[in-house]
Amino acid sequence: MPQSQEFFRGEHSRKMDERYRLSVPGEWADRLGGASGECILAKERPGCLSLWNAAQWVSKLEARAELIEQKFRLGELDRRIGQVQMFGRLWSTRQKPVPLKSGGRLLVPEGFREFLGVEAGGDVMVIGAAVCVEIWNPKAWVKYLEGRIARFRRLFDHLSK
């Protein structure tokens, strides 16, 4: 688990440079990269990538993926082979370890660039999503907000009970 359980909060406008690099806000970089500087970049939804502390990713998601693999080896998923194949395709291409360089600089790998839909030199939004940091195509971010901001109060009340 990361050193701090503090939520990532905030909204920052950044520019993707000509080599598909961007800077994560400095106050988030150490928590994301930890001592190793390694993070996990994951495809979340079209126009959005998430950046996780590698140890947190392993503890939250890898363990669940291992459970699915165990169930498959035991034959418990034999009747759901199509779902297992879909899971394998998506899991195999969904995440990638990436180093967070000094100053919080991150290189967005090929395949992830296309999913994000931002060209070299384009703008991105870097969003604190509580448990991770998200990198958004600005148009996708506005669309996402438009569809969900009206439900914020209800969500806040529900989670704080």
Euclidean distance between CA atoms 154 and 148, whole angstroms: 11
Name beta bridge partners: 99.
38
Per-residue pLDDT of 38-88, as tens digits, reads: 999 999 999 999 999 998 888 778 788 888 999 999 999 999 999 999 888
Mean pLDDT of 111-131: 95
CATH code of residue 100: 3.40.1550.20
pLDDT(1) > 60: no
Helix/strand/coil for 44: strand
What pLDDT, on a 0 to 100 scale, did the predictor assign at position 91? 83
CA distances from 51 to 8, 95, 155 (A): 11, 9, 23
Euclidean distance between CA atoms 126 and 6, whole angstroms: 17
Helix and strand numbers, DSSP H then E, in the chain: 7, 8
What pLDDT, on a 0 to 100 scale, did the predictor assign at position 66? 87
Any domain includes 6: no
Structural domain including 145 reads: 11-159
**What's the pTM value of the predicted model, to 2 decimals?**
0.85
- Provide the domain count of the chain: 1
Any domain includes 3: no
